[in-house]
Amino acid sequence: MKPRRPFEVRIVLVRTIYERNIGATSRAMSNMGCDKLILIAPACDITYEAQQTAATGQTGLQNRVTYSSWNEFLEKEPESIKICFTARDGKGRQVRDIDEVLNDIADHAPQFQLQSEIPYVVHLVFGPEDWGLSAEDLEHANFCACLPTFGENWSLNLAQATLLAMYSLRLQWGGERTRLDGGKARRAPQGIEGINPDATLKIWLEEMGFDLTRQRKINVYTVLRRMLLQNTPTKKELVILETVLQQSIRKLREWKAFQKKD
């Protein structure tokens, strides 16, 4: 059953050891329509390796929030339902499959029985790669969940676990599914007012004298767009790119006007 109230999913990684898993988690989040990534006391630095692994899903990585401890997390994060994932079913853990947990929340959690337009936050919490969440970590959980496996290897890669958890949640609770258009997924807008690098790049090339109306398999616009935008640049990088292109366009138009006068 889908909750009556809108919700916002935030992914929480606790004491993560390998930055590549943080990057891969960011990519998985972009697949599942989640953009809030939280790190609690990470045991690694975030370098180029994480960016490489995130590939086209950089949003969560770039906008991540890092807390030094659970205390700081609880102090600064909003009220939420915290679902902690663990493969171990030890004393006091009361672990259930994620689908059962999600159905229980949707049916019985008072936060979701309210008719409200204000989204409620759901934190999906994952532990480090070696031993997972500790008993102390699980004290902060509202629910303990596991991702069922069907083979001899019950241990999941951290990023794969986050992807499966988000997929289970979307399957149960819904979301706006990605639709393919002409064989390509429609990408979300960059969300920066006044910044449209695609359009500005076309104008710049046209001012440079390129005819973009000619049908070619690969044209100069396609190549440059791929080179400049394929790695999902940050907002700051997009602003810089837009500024450079706009300045070039102005200079080209000034030069053309000067040429006409002569």
Q: Quick one: angle between helices 19-31 and 158-173, nearest 10?
A: 20
Strands 143-146 and 80-85, how do they pair? parallel
Strand partners, 7: 120
| Assigned CATH topology for domain 7-173 | Alpha/beta knot (3.40.1280)
Which residue, among 143, 158, 156, 160, has the nearest Cα to 16 in the 3D structure? 158
N-to-C CA span, the chain: 73
pTM score, whole prediction:
0.69
Q: Where are the domains of the chain?
A: 7-173, 192-261
Q: 187 near 57, Cβ under 8 Å?
A: no
Contacts of 24 (CB under 8 A, 6+ apart): 53, 54, 157, 158, 159
* Helices within 55-179 (DSSP H only): 59-62, 70-76, 98-108, 110-113, 135-138, 158-173
DSSP 143-210: EEEE----SS--PPPHHHHHHHHHHHHHHHH------EETTEEPPPP---TT--HHHHHHHHHHHTT-
Distance of alpha carbon 219 from alpha carbon 72, whole angstroms: 51
C-beta neighbour count of 193 within 10 angstroms: 6
Residue 93 is encoded by which pair of tokens? 């853990």
What is the rounded distance in angstroms from the CA atom of residue 196 to the CA atom of residue 86? 43
Positions in the chain whose pLDDT score sits under 50: 186-191, 217
